[in-house]
Structure 1
Amino acid sequence: MAKSDAGTSRAEGTGNGAASGNGTTLRPQSLMLNFLGNFVLGCDVCVYAGSIIDVLAHAGVSESATRSTLSRMVERGLLHRRRAGRRVYFGLTEHATRVLRDGKERLLGRGVVNEDWDGTWTLLAFSLPDTGQRRRHELRSRLSWAGFGPLIGGLWIAPGAADVSRLTEDSKLAPFLRVFRSTADPATDIGRMIKETWDLDTPAAAYRDFHDRWYAFAGGRDGSVPEADADAIALQLRLLTEWLMVIRVDPHLPARHLPPDWPAAAAQDVFVRAEARVATVAWESARRLLETMPLRD
């Protein structure tokens, strides 16, 4: 990536988050993670703090919110600092690399319509100590991200052979987990179980909102792609962040057990076409505007 004077023509931040097209506030950390996953992951570089502030300012995030987000991510072991004179640069830790690769795979690596389900389920039971309330909340969030739903009590279920390796390899969680693969008895009403276990209205509405919001842009009929500058990067960040917000509430359930008008495929088509319109110019902008230094000496 080429060096540039970060801070030139910087837009004024609007606060702690950026407003998306439907009025939803995009959290600075979500925008930051997509920035890192799209423009830093795999490059073996650290990025100058001023460059990051500039880009997120164009996405509507204030300088103070960006600095606070960077500091919190350092504290959580996701970023590390490097200094060159008076300048501060931020690079990915190994932990961040794993997290971002997982997120990128979710964003770009699989379809949102589960048409290849083989009829099997993954069952995960957990029983954490009463003192582990925070850990329990974190576990439930991680299970939801992996497509699990609460079947009953501490028993969660996901379609197919769900990948639970990051949970079972966690030494603090593994002693409290039990994982099984199974099929349902013919007497089980799968459709009813799905309706009682997962919220289908929320992902359906999210897919429809995304489709309607980006449809014209994806088709090239409304909204031009910015020229190679920070606005192009900001546009792609908003697109990626909004899409990730949509798919993270979708448990990726078997298509045969979803309503016939399930809107996931149409929304994904819009995302793919919109991303294709902006990806090249955004990457060229990042290469030109982001000031970097090697991740290691």
Structure 2
Amino acid sequence: MRARVRAGEVDLPRSQVGPNPQHLLTTILGEYLDSSEADLPSAAVVAVLREFDITEASARAALSRLTRRGLVAARRPGRPTVYHLTPQAIAMHRSRMNQFLTFGARPRAWSGDWTVVTFSLAESHQARQAGQAQRHDIRRTLGALGFVRLYDSMWIKPGRDLADAARAMREVLGDAAQGRWSVMSARFHEEDGPHGPAAAYDLAGLAEAYTDFIDRYSPLLASVRGRTIGGAEALIARTSVMDSWRVFAVTDPDLPEHLLPARWPRRAARELFLEIHTALGPLAEARLIEIVAPFWPDAAAWITHFQAGDDATFD
């Protein structure tokens, strides 16, 4: 399914809005609500997600999942149920929004240090099957921390992240009977050579992803500049461009500039994202208030929108 921004003739892939209702609801709450004091009726949540073609059953299921995760909580029992964001959710949303909106703002300060994790697993016949699962857990854990594999059992990450890496390896492997591991800080003689750390990254693929992002959203930027985007289109488009950009903040290793290819496209992609995201903020906020007002009369007192600056803030 595709969401068409008709006024500007911009065809946005529905997949860019979010892979599932829970993810989409988390994005919207993070973008437009910044208080645990706000009472959020469940009917308002259903109305918002309906804008994105999410059924009522799926919307309520997403709300229930966020409740189980501790991101939202019921204010009081009964019908209709009223929810609120938990303080933990507010802190998480602020941290993540700052991460997404400030990513790529300035070059990484580079000391030349890399964090290196090496490991070996027990090779006995009895341990071999368990070792397969452990290896998978290690790769998943290190990948989530931003490490990439340089060699089979050597993983690297730019900068110093010794404490987090050691904690993660300790949780996965435990004592030395299950395997041996080391976490260290290192410098490479040739960082950008074919056997250096830069070779561990698919920079060509990442550059292509940035270029695809620019190609996908340039028509939307033209519509934004031409002021042909209405409120309904703004809410969908702003959510789409955020969900597309946030992937880079998680997957781009943010290597120092001397390791990046010439004409690196991240700056152009970031400028495009920020212009769209900033320009559509007031329109999307107004549309969101319009949607939920029948179910949440004081919504205008609580709904806001996150915007970028030197430090990302709610407006």
TM-score range, shorter-chain basis? 0.7 to 0.9
How far, CA to CA, are the matches of 2:234 and 2:139 in structure 1? 36
| Distance change in 2, residues 1:169/1:58 (3 Å) | same
Per chain length, whose mean CA-contact separation is higher, i.e. which structure has more relative contact order (CA < 8 Å, sep 6+)?
Answer: 1
Query: TM (normalized to structure 2)?
Result: 0.69
Q: Output aligned runs, 1:46-195, within 5 Å.
A: 46-83=39-76, 85-111=78-104, 114-125=107-118, 130=130, 133=133, 137=137, 140=139, 143-162=142-161, 165=164, 168=167, 172=171, 179-184=183-188, 186-187=189-190, 189-190=192-193, 192-194=195-197
Post-superposition offset of 1:211? 0.9
Q: Say if 2:115 and 2:184, in contact at 8 Å, map to a contact too.
A: yes
How far, CA to CA, are the matches of 2:59 and 2:135 in structure 1? 27
Cα-Cα RMSD: 4.0
Which residue of structure 1 aligns with residue 271 of structure 2?
269
SS, match of residue 251 in structure 2: coil
Which residue of structure 1 aligns with residue 12 of structure 2?
21
| Distance change in 2, residues 1:106/1:124 (3 Å) | farther
Q: Say if 2:134 and 2:173, in contact at 8 Å, map to a contact too.
A: no
Percent of aligned positions with the same letter in both sequences? 25
In the alignment, structure 1 residue 204 sits paired with structure 2 residue 207: yes
SS, match of residue 157 in structure 1: strand
Gaps of 5+ in 1: 1-13
Which residue of structure 2 aligns with residue 215 of structure 1?
218
Query: TM (normalized to structure 1)?
Result: 0.73
Post-superposition offset of 1:162? 4.3
Aligned amino acid, residue 79 of structure 1: V
How far, CA to CA, are the matches of 2:67 and 2:117 in structure 1? 32
Post-superposition offset of 1:217? 2.7
Post-superposition offset of 1:161? 3.0
Post-superposition offset of 1:38? 1.1
Post-superposition offset of 1:267? 0.4
How far, CA to CA, are the matches of 1:134 and 1:66 in structure 2? 36
Post-superposition offset of 1:206? 2.0
SS, match of residue 248 in structure 1: helix
Which residue of structure 1 aligns with residue 309 of structure 2?
none
Q: Say if 1:53 and 1:67, in contact at 8 Å, map to a contact too.
A: yes
In the alignment, structure 1 residue 260 sits paired with structure 2 residue 262: yes
Structure (1/2) with the larger helix percentage: 2
* 158-167 or 141-150: bigger deviation: 158-167
1:13-50 residue CA offsets vs partner (Å, 9 max, x unmatched):
x6xx9798256452123322211211223454342222
